[in-house]
Amino acid sequence: MSQAVTVRSISLVSLGGVLGSLLRFSIGEVLTDSRNATLIANLLGVALSTLLHVLMERRGTTNQRHFLLPGFCAGLTTFSALALLTLEPSDGGAMYLSITVIASLAIIAILMPIARKVIAVR
């Protein structure tokens, strides 16, 4: 990999990550309950990354992939907040983790076949 590609990739991932993080922050500002904000951000990130994965696989460029998947979607989602909220057993941490994982898998199971039917191969 050339240095120019590396610098470009790092820049695109960084820019996407900033924008995803800003959306994540905005969701937290609108939904003041951190559990709901984290759940919504993570599920939105799963849905977007599922659709974008198929789109990038079929039509995307390397630059678009870097900006959208490890950039924007990774900036939007947050495993650290999920882990922290899971470690609060008195607040139903295990149930919170279960809901997040089951809902994430359901989103992927529903959206992946739809995306594969709707998004044509170039």
Q: Is the pLDDT of residue 3 over 80?
A: no
Q: What percent of the chain has pLDDT over 70?
A: 98
Q: Indicate the average pLDDT of the chain.
A: 94
Quick one: pLDDT at residue 91? 82
End-to-end CA distance of the chain: 25
What is the rounded CA–CA span in Å between residue 21 and residue 49?
15
Q: What percent of the chain has pLDDT over 90?
A: 87
Q: pTM for the complete prediction?
A: 0.91
Q: How much of the chain is helix, strand and coil, in % rounded to 5?
A: 85, 0, 15
Tens-place pLDDT, residues 53-109: 999 999 999 999 999 999 999 999 999 999 999 998 788 899 999 999 999 999 999
